[in-house]
Structure 1
Amino acid sequence: MAFASPPELPTHFHLTTKKTHHHHLLPSQAFLKINGDPQLHPNINLTVAYQGAPGAYSEFAAKTACPNSKTIPYRSLIDAILAVESGYVDRAILPVESTMEGSSLRNYNLLLQHDLHIVQEISLFVHYCLLAMPGVRKKELKRVMSHPLALAHCVRNLAQLGLEREPVEDTAGAVELLRTRRLFDTGAIASSRAALLYGLDVVAHGLQDESWNVTRFLVLSKDSDLTQKGRVGLKTSLVVGHHGSGGMEVVLGVLSALSSRGINLTKLEVGSNRKEDGVVRILDVHGRRGIQEFPHVLYIDFEGTMEDEKVKEAIDEVSNLSVFVRVLGCYMADPNVYDLF
């Protein structure tokens, strides 16, 4: 059967000349940005934590955001976040939303419980491949391993192939297991660059059910990026916590506070924590109240910074709605989408 090839860029993205960049520290050796150039970080000594094994999509996102950095793998996202908070590394990469799954509120909630700042965003086109041991043909495979989300993104195509699905911690971890255990009847869903890194064959390209599959990552730091002050093209992320009564009034109040001042809203999402104990925990980073608990939160992104008087006025107006407000970060907006090749 034939699988989807990488799609053309949707018309709502501003297409520019495609360019290739080579970085000697990048495990995949290279990446391609679908439009434009990456925001090259001037600090060549940055260390960036990511969840997964070498070759994971999160590592590619980290190298795309900070091309000259040293990437360090961690077993879990919380371990990567704690590494930044403890000062062991400079940055952590956090996947927060995708075109197929929407926002990962669980990952957002990890950020809320720690005193970290968003300093950059990066969007990565995820093109899934089916990998196998050298010489193994696609028809010889009986099962496939990968991260649960990767398996979910490819469920229709995997069903057509008749492969049994086996979830593991991350995509690159599946490749690592495949290689170290020499599983000749098992495939792994990962990137073509992971195949090169681990010496495996790509037996199918474009395994995802939806051809346009983009994941947005946030780069987290212990300190806010003071170099952004005074620059244009910045955006701010914040969270608003409330106790549920008059929830629609809170949403309308936020919309009114921003729109009445001509502030462009780029994201507003209502979140809750229905899967656990029904509350979202937010660290009060400026007060002394520690962790605050809210049954409902709003995740908000808008164009502008806390240096703008109209933004300050809008935040003050929102704060008067008897809600808790925490600014998560101010950073350069990056509307571009990056692709591995």
Structure 2
Amino acid sequence: MTAPRIAYQGEPGANSHLVCRQHYPDHDALACASFEDVFAAVETGEAALAMIPIDNSIAGRVADIHHFLPGSTLHIVAEHFLRIQFVLLGVPGSTLDSVKTVHSHVHALGQCRKAIRELGLSAVVSGDTAGAAREVAEMGDPSQAAISPPLAAEIYGLEVLREDVEDEDHNTTRFVVLSRELVEAPAGNGPVVTSFVFNVRNIPAALYKALGGFATNGVNMTKLESYMVGGHFAATQFLAEVDGHPSDPPLARALEELRFFTDDVKILGVYPAARERGE
């Protein structure tokens, strides 16, 4: 029997691949070149699930994802947090003394400035952290190294020259899992997150009034992101996340009040809150 697939953006060995292996070991991981390809793989049935990074504790929101989600037909069914760890990788036989140049994604290079400076390395931007490891393996040059997730060493046959080269030890990425099917977490069975998007009506204080119901009903809103709609400065869409289940009376009342001041409310997902949210 063929195993179900879970799609992710990046090359084998990327952090998204690592999260897939950790939480969905019974799925075959499907590498995709772009986020658009990941969404398409699930929408067409090529993959059952998608693993998508949505926020990073240092870099903030993953902008592309926040634009894909509102118009997608997919649903959020789970969330996972990954403590981001980077290692310095070289070809077999290379050493810290032999390495002169380091390759990685621009964000990874920016998050590992201290180690790069300490080792006196020249930085070269690659399209992907795992792709940088593949490039170094293909070059076979002991003067070239990559800053990549630890999984990339296993996949591309490289040696770890130094571990934990990231500047900050709190670097964490939040991932959400997307599915074609709407699978809601049951109410009353532990903490739940509800994600939704809405467009405010073009009336004075509409956003203030729309959000007032969450405050008066004691609903904790953990995220509120805004976007322009259709290139118009006056039309604004919001992505929000709150603690609670839509069937809980406080959240049900808040959502009902929200609809008085918005043109559209779309629930993206109702899913179990990851344990890391409370840490």
Q: Quick one: distance in 1 between partners of 2:92 and 2:153? A: 10
Following the alignment from structure 1 to structure 2, what is the Cα–Cα distance between the partners of residues 200 and 110?
35
Does 181-190 or 71-80 show the bigger shift?
Answer: 181-190
The answer on whether the counterparts of 2:210 and 2:262 sit within 8 Å (CA) in structure 1 is no
Contact 2:211–2:258 (Cα < 8 Å) also in 1: no
Residue 256 of structure 1: aligned partner: 212
TM-score with structure 1 length normalisation?
Answer: 0.74
| Structure 1 position 58, deviation (Å) | 0.1
TM-score by length of 2: 0.89
1:71 aligns with 2:29: yes
Is 2:262 aligned against 1:322? yes
> Equivalent residue of 1:84, what SS?
helix
In 1, distance between residues paired with 2:8 and 2:243? 27
**What's the CA shift for 1:104?**
1.7
CA 1:254–1:158 in 2, change beyond 3 Å: closer, same or farther? farther
CA distance in 2, matches of 1:142, 1:250: 56
**Aligned 8 A contact 2:193 2:272 in 1:** yes
Aligned pair count?
Answer: 275
Q: CA deviation at 1:178?
A: 1.2
Residues 244/186 of structure 1: CA separation in 2 closer, same or farther (3 Å cut):
farther
1:98-247 map, 5 Å: 98-226=56-184, 228-230=185-187, 231-242=189-200, 246=204
Q: Which has the higher strand share?
A: 2
Q: Distance in 2 between matches of 1:142 and 1:197?
A: 23
> What letter matches 1:320 in structure 2?
F
Query: What is the rounded CA distance, in whole Å, between the counterparts of 1:49 and 1:324 in structure 2?
Result: 29
Determine what percentage of the aligned residue pairs are the same residue.
28
- Measure the CA separation in 2 of the matches of 1:260 and 1:218: 29
Q: Report SS of the residue matched to 1:156.
A: helix
The residue type equivalent to 1:303 in the other structure is D
Partner SS state of residue 180, structure 1: helix
What's the offset of the Cα at 1:215?
0.5
Tell me the distance in 1 between the aligned counterparts of 2:133 and 2:202: 44
* 2:152 aligned counterpart, secondary structure: helix
User: In 2, Cα distance between the equivalents of 1:58 and 1:97?
Assistant: 13
In structure 2, do the counterparts of structure 1 residues 323 and 190 end up closer, same or farther at CA, with 3 Å as the change threshold? same
Closer/same/farther in 2, CA of residues 257 and 155 from structure 1, 3 Å limit: same
Deviation of 1:280 after TM superposition, in Å, equals 4.2
Match of 2:43 among 85, 103, 123: 85
Q: In structure 2, what residue type is equivalent to 1:261?
A: N
Helix, strand or coil at the partner of 2:262: coil
SS at match of 1:50: strand
How many angstroms does 1:164 deviate by?
A: 2.3
Equivalence for 2:225: 270
Q: Could you tell me how far 1:173 is from its partner in structure 2?
A: 1.2
CA 1:269–1:162 in structure 2 vs 1: closer, same or farther (change >3 Å)? farther
**Structure 1 unaligned runs (5+)?**
1-43, 273-278, 282-291
Equivalence for 1:332? 272
Residues 136 and 224 (structure 1), Cα distance of their counterparts in 2 relative to 1, 3 Å cut: same
Q: What RMSD, in angstroms, separates the aligned Cα atoms of the two structures?
A: 2.5
Amino acid at match of 2:4: L
Residues of 2 paired with 1:107 and 1:162: CA distance?
A: 35
Residues 122, 137 of structure 1: alpha-carbon distance in 2 compared, 3 angstrom cutoff: same
Larger helix proportion, structure 1 or 2?
Answer: 2
Query: For 1:239 and 1:144, how far apart are their aligned partners in 2?
Result: 41
8 Å Cα contact 1:109/1:280 also seen in 2 = no
Distance 1:240 1:268 in 2: 13
Helix, strand or coil for the counterpart of 1:178? helix
Which secondary structure state, in structure 2, belongs to the residue aligned with residue 336 of structure 1?
A: helix
Q: What amino acid does structure 2 have at the position aligned with 1:271?
A: S
Displacement after TM superposition at 1:219 (Å): 0.4
Query: What are the Cα deviations for residues 210-259 of structure 1, in whole angstroms up to 9, with x where unaligned?
Result: 12111000101111114x2333321101122347775xx34433442112
